[in-house]
Amino acid sequence: MSTTPTVAYLDHAATTPMVAEVVAVLTDQLSRAGNPSSLHGSGRAARRVVEESRESIAKSLGARPSDVVFTSGGTEADNLAVHGIFAARRDADPRRTRILTPAIEHHAVLDTVEWLATHAGAKVDYVAVDAAGRLDLDDLRRRLDADPDDVALVTCMWANNEVGTAQPIAEIVAAAHAHGIPVHSDAVQAVGHLPVDFEAVELDAMTVTAHKLGGPVGVGALLVRREIEVAPLLHGGGQERQIRSGTLATAAIAAFAAAVDLAVRRQPDQARRLENLRADLVRRTQAAVPEIVVNGDPKPGPEHRLPGIAHLSFPGCEGDSLLMLLDAQGVECSTGSACTAGVPEASHVLLAMGQDDVTARGSLRFSLGHSSTAADVDALIEALPGAYERARAAGLTGVGGRNA
């Protein structure tokens, strides 16, 4: 069996195809010579592309151009924000060692926080989330009030990458700012799917990446207000405000800017379209497999959830069995989590939402994006019932005795 051709790509939250306009910008820029940090004409021309891109991204996301620090992507931006703000805040006042975060963060944040706890004296204080995966604001306020002087930062994603639940970012910021504590948000999943305005919610730092919104893999940014001290992770030429070093990737940055521009302009229409498609997917999946449970916030709308993610639990199934059977029919989705060894683990997000290990392992994420169509949903609905029956049969073999 060679790998089946893709029939339905339902994993846009992992990465989404580049949009045609962005491919054109990228390929146009790829042959450009000149380091944006060079002083000659080629350098200045490249610098101009970078700065126009910076201005464009800032405009799209409600930031100032000087807020934009280009990185290699979301993971680097998350690491830079959490590590960099923690280190700077603690250097300014050694009491500030506590990091407040919900346990549903992406590993780019969670593992950074855990590393800081193990190696840099940080104290991680996990803020409770409710059954839909939304941060509990009362719990956050209680933890802040307990001792605001020892908090280095609060970090909370804009919308969860697995179940899609949107977080109350403005309220989180208000609660933290009441004590003068900076807030970072990983908005990797949100930009292009929800209205995102950096300044309107008064965030101090925000992570964005290109490949989740129609741009290339390998470029992203940390938006971080000038007033916020950030210790650098990557040392060297100091290209980005002395916070981030490394030769700027002119072509990738130009493509990133084009992708952000298109994604943000198209966001309202896109969200409406994906919300309808998702509703169709969920309704028809429930009709085909009545046992399924829909995870996350059931209500549509930007304060509730991402429009294109349907996260479903299939009782009695191993998620990875179901994924494999769907994949064999060209229907591509995700168990919503992966670790370095490729060992499927129960989603830490579902566990934090109070689900048990078995339910968490029997769940799949279907995520829609700009290229999704009704035919993708048709293909899923055609493949799912048979795959579900088989996966359920296999799920029941888990405790069986020997073959006679």
Give the number of C-alpha atoms closer than 13 A to the C-alpha of residue 70, restricted to the C-beta side.
30
Q: Would you give the end-to-end CA distance of the chain in angstroms?
A: 30
Contact partners, residue 208, CB within 8 Å, separation at least 6: 57, 61, 74, 77, 187, 188, 191, 220, 221, 222, 223, 260
Q: Which of 119, 290, 299, 397 binds other proteins (CB under 8 A)?
A: 397
Based on the shown chain and the rule CB under 8 A, indicate whether residue 92 belongs to the binding site for other proteins: no
253's tokens: 């940055």
Question: How far apart are alpha carbons 208 and 399 in whole angstroms?
Answer: 44
Cβ proximity of 175 and 205 under 8 Å:
no
317 is catalytic: no
In the range 264-323, which residues lie near other proteins by CB under 8 A?
Answer: 320-321, 323
212's tokens: 């989740």
In the range 312-351, which residues lie near other proteins by CB under 8 A?
Answer: 320-321, 323-325, 327-328, 340-345
67's tokens: 């807020």
Q: Which is nearer to other proteins, 41 or 342 (CB)?
A: 342
Q: Which is nearer to other proteins, 297 or 318 (CB)?
A: 318
Based on the shown chain and the rule CB under 8 A, indicate whether residue 382 belongs to the binding site for other proteins: no
In the range 3-42, which residues lie near other proteins by CB under 8 A?
Answer: 3-4
CB of 392 to other proteins, least distance (A): 9
Based on the shown chain and the rule CB under 8 A, indicate whether residue 390 belongs to the binding site for other proteins: yes
Q: Which is nearer to other proteins, 31 or 340 (CB)?
A: 340
Question: How far apart are alpha carbons 20 and 43 in whole angstroms?
Answer: 27
Catalytic residue among 156, 317, 333, 339: 339
Based on the shown chain and the rule CB under 8 A, indicate whether residue 2 belongs to the binding site for other proteins: yes
Taking the CB of residue 66, how many other CB atoms lie within 10 A of it?
A: 13
User: Which DSSP helix (H) or strand (E) runs through 206?
Assistant: strand 205-209
Based on the shown chain and the rule CB under 8 A, indicate whether residue 358 belongs to the binding site for other proteins: no
CB of 386 to other proteins, least distance (A): 9
CB of 118 to other proteins, least distance (A): 15
CB of 365 to other proteins, least distance (A): 17
CB of 10 to other proteins, least distance (A): 17
**76 closest CA partner among 245, 251, 252:** 245
Positions annotated as catalytic residues are 339
Task: Give the residues lining the site for other proteins (CB under 8 A).
Answer: 1-4, 320-321, 323-325, 327-328, 340-345, 390-391, 393-394, 396-398, 400, 402-404
